[in-house]
A and B are shown apart, each in its own frame.
Chain A
């Protein structure tokens, strides 16, 4: 469980537009890496290249290499479906499946992959909901619709759904931006617990959040409107927020721009 991600020379395009250019970085296993930067700098695009979700958008393509331990995700013969089973994702807005109960939402990944045994599913559903700190709140209404939960609970349901397929890496695209502070705290605590089992990458606009939850922080920036986003620096979170080596990073985190 938990793999290292090694990105080298990665660029991503939407049709003819280059969204991110020549990004190289190493993401350590069993740690939380936060991506920060102004809007439109390609944080989310880069995140989506890490589990081949970028190419789901028509006309989108990727150049470069992403190594998961030693396997290139963009190598010939790699099945994007298999990649996404290994690298899970949580989205900005909670998106439980509206036709499914809470139980079925969590079991969805496994059920759709062909796991049928009730005892196996029961075990994993309970374990995942406990892992997402949601079990106590929902254990007596597992067959109620997932859409009936509050926003924060729905987001934790989505996290439970993502960890139920037992991925190695968990990508989170601004998972708290649609939530109130109490639900945000619940999710941040959860991230702290999950990092012992997964490699976690989180995109956030909230710099306090990055400082609170991450071990390492990457700062992305773009030279101007219409220019592709670039990685400016990646360092220990402590250093980024106290003594960054690039002036632009300091300007951004101290609120002088962006």
Chain B
């Protein structure tokens, strides 16, 4: 390019915009549009005599998306309107995702809250008629706690150590094989895990039904989840921290134990807790291996026990048994509360132990 080029020789840049300010919808506009769409949606729904409230809701959602786009396009311009369109779609998707969750919790609380009391929590079903009132979930709660506890005691250390091997030591074929089998195990259906333990532990080795047999199957289901989540967390630990520790003359095993794992402990705990929450709801392998029981059996190594998911199934299995239905809802409420509490504890631990910046 020569220095003689003058301004007039250049192609003029297209004028994109002259002004830096533009008309803007007020802050309450999205809320206003939402209220309006719901109102119009209800009017249309009622007017057309649509029976299902889901239809009313869908009409409102559609109106909300279209109205917020149209209004914004009119007032603010097309680029802003596209932004509003994306935002409103995300809101609708969020509500669609939350509605089933909230309605599930609300319905369970409605149905179960009246049943859950002190008597329900500390009595078993021994000597209680299936079709009659009374009885409780103590035996099932105890069984769930013992079986899940034992499964965690087996699966968490093995899973953690496997992940440490894969991330810190594993090279070559053995590591690849282990990764492959962990992937395969992630996809094993719970009934297959149950059948495997049944054929090896009970039919093969001749042990009886017990809570422990159930926890073996639960441990098989839990292990790959723990390995995967722990692996992810360990890989997130920057290599610089390992090198910093080596450079201080700290051996590798101590570096892993005192630097790498503490840095990742928040995420590891969350992963283990989520795996626990997942196996708490397992029914099929437990039914096969723990069997069912109406009495309290405090020994998980000997004889049939009960378990909350199996209890719910048992109480709900008789047709037109209103007392059984009520007990099933009560047990479901306790199960959900238990899993929710585990999640909250996991989040608390993750927040408490995660590396902190700031003063």
Closest to B262 in A: A99
Stretch of B30-38, B59-67, B142-150, B237-245 that contacts chain A: B237-245
Contact assessment for A81 and B249 in the assembled complex, using a CB-CB cutoff below 8 Å: yes
Stretch of A30-38, A85-93, A247-255 that contacts chain B: A85-93
Contact assessment for B359 and A113 in the assembled complex, using a CB-CB cutoff below 8 Å: no
B244, B249, B259, B355: the one within 8 Å of A165 (CB): B249
Closest to B238 in A: A95
- Knowing A81-B251, A109-B249, A112-B250, the reply to whether A95 touches B240 (Cβ < 8 A) is yes
Contact assessment for A141 and B246 in the assembled complex, using a CB-CB cutoff below 8 Å: no
User: What residues of chain A lie closer than 8 Å to B240, measured between beta carbons?
Assistant: 91, 93, 95
B171, B244, B246, B250: the one within 8 Å of A158 (CB): B244
Contact assessment for B171 and A113 in the assembled complex, using a CB-CB cutoff below 8 Å: no
User: What residues of chain A lie closer than 8 Å to B357, measured between beta carbons?
Assistant: 98, 145, 147-148
B238, B245, B259, B359: the one within 8 Å of A148 (CB): B359
Contact assessment for A98 and B246 in the assembled complex, using a CB-CB cutoff below 8 Å: no
Count residues of chain A with CB under 8 A from any CB of chain B.
Answer: 32
Tell me whether A224 is interfacial, beta carbon within 8 Å: no
Q: Which of B230-273 contact A (CB under 8 A)?
A: 238, 240-251, 254-255, 258-259, 262-263, 265
Tell me whether A240 is interfacial, beta carbon within 8 Å: no
Tell me whether B358 is interfacial, beta carbon within 8 Å: yes
Residue picked from B243, B244, B251, most chain A C-beta under 10 Å: B244
Count residues of chain B with CB under 8 A from any CB of chain A.
Answer: 27
Residue picked from B243, B248, B250, B265, most chain A C-beta under 10 Å: B248
Q: Which of A193-231 contact B (CB under 8 A)?
A: none
- Knowing A91-B240, A97-B263, the reply to whether A81 touches B247 (Cβ < 8 A) is no
A98, A144, A145, A161: the one within 8 Å of B248 (CB): A161
Q: Which of A138-181 contact B (CB under 8 A)?
A: 141, 144-145, 147-148, 158, 161-162, 165
Contact assessment for B248 and A84 in the assembled complex, using a CB-CB cutoff below 8 Å: yes
- Knowing A58-B171, A95-B238, A144-B359, the reply to whether A53 touches B243 (Cβ < 8 A) is yes
Contact assessment for B243 and A108 in the assembled complex, using a CB-CB cutoff below 8 Å: no
Tell me whether B356 is interfacial, beta carbon within 8 Å: yes
Tell me whether A120 is interfacial, beta carbon within 8 Å: no
Tell me whether A49 is interfacial, beta carbon within 8 Å: no
Closest to A141 in B: B359
User: What residues of chain A lie closer than 8 Å to B238, measured between beta carbons?
Assistant: 95
Complex Cα spacing A58 to B263, Å: 23
Complex Cα spacing A99 to B241, Å: 11
User: What residues of chain A lie closer than 8 Å to B242, measured between beta carbons?
Assistant: 56
Closest to B244 in A: A95
Contact assessment for B241 and A95 in the assembled complex, using a CB-CB cutoff below 8 Å: yes
Contact assessment for A165 and B243 in the assembled complex, using a CB-CB cutoff below 8 Å: no
Q: In the complex, how many angstroms separate the beta carbon of B252 from the nearest chain A beta carbon?
A: 8
B243, B244, B249, B356: the one within 8 Å of A147 (CB): B356
- Knowing A53-B243, A91-B244, A112-B258, the reply to whether A98 touches B250 (Cβ < 8 A) is no
Contact assessment for B248 and A108 in the assembled complex, using a CB-CB cutoff below 8 Å: yes
Complex Cα spacing A122 to B262, Å: 23
Contact assessment for B247 and A88 in the assembled complex, using a CB-CB cutoff below 8 Å: yes
User: What residues of chain A lie closer than 8 Å to B258, measured between beta carbons?
Assistant: 112
User: What residues of chain B lie closer than 8 Å to A88, measured between beta carbons?
Assistant: 247-248
Tell me whether A133 is interfacial, beta carbon within 8 Å: no
Contact assessment for B355 and A148 in the assembled complex, using a CB-CB cutoff below 8 Å: no
Contact assessment for A113 and B246 in the assembled complex, using a CB-CB cutoff below 8 Å: no
List 10 additional A-B contacts (Cβ < 8 Å) besides A98-B357, A99-B259. Answer: A56-B246, A88-B247, A91-B244, A95-B238, A95-B240, A99-B262, A109-B248, A109-B250, A112-B245, A113-B250
Which B residues lie at the A interface, using CB under 8 A?
171, 238, 240-251, 254-255, 258-259, 262-263, 265, 353, 355-359
Which 8 pairs from chain A and chain B are nearest by CB? A85-B249, A98-B355, A109-B248, A89-B247, A95-B240, A84-B249, A99-B262, A112-B250
Which A residues lie at the B interface, using CB under 8 A?
51, 53, 56, 58, 81-86, 88-89, 91, 93, 95-99, 108-109, 112-113, 141, 144-145, 147-148, 158, 161-162, 165
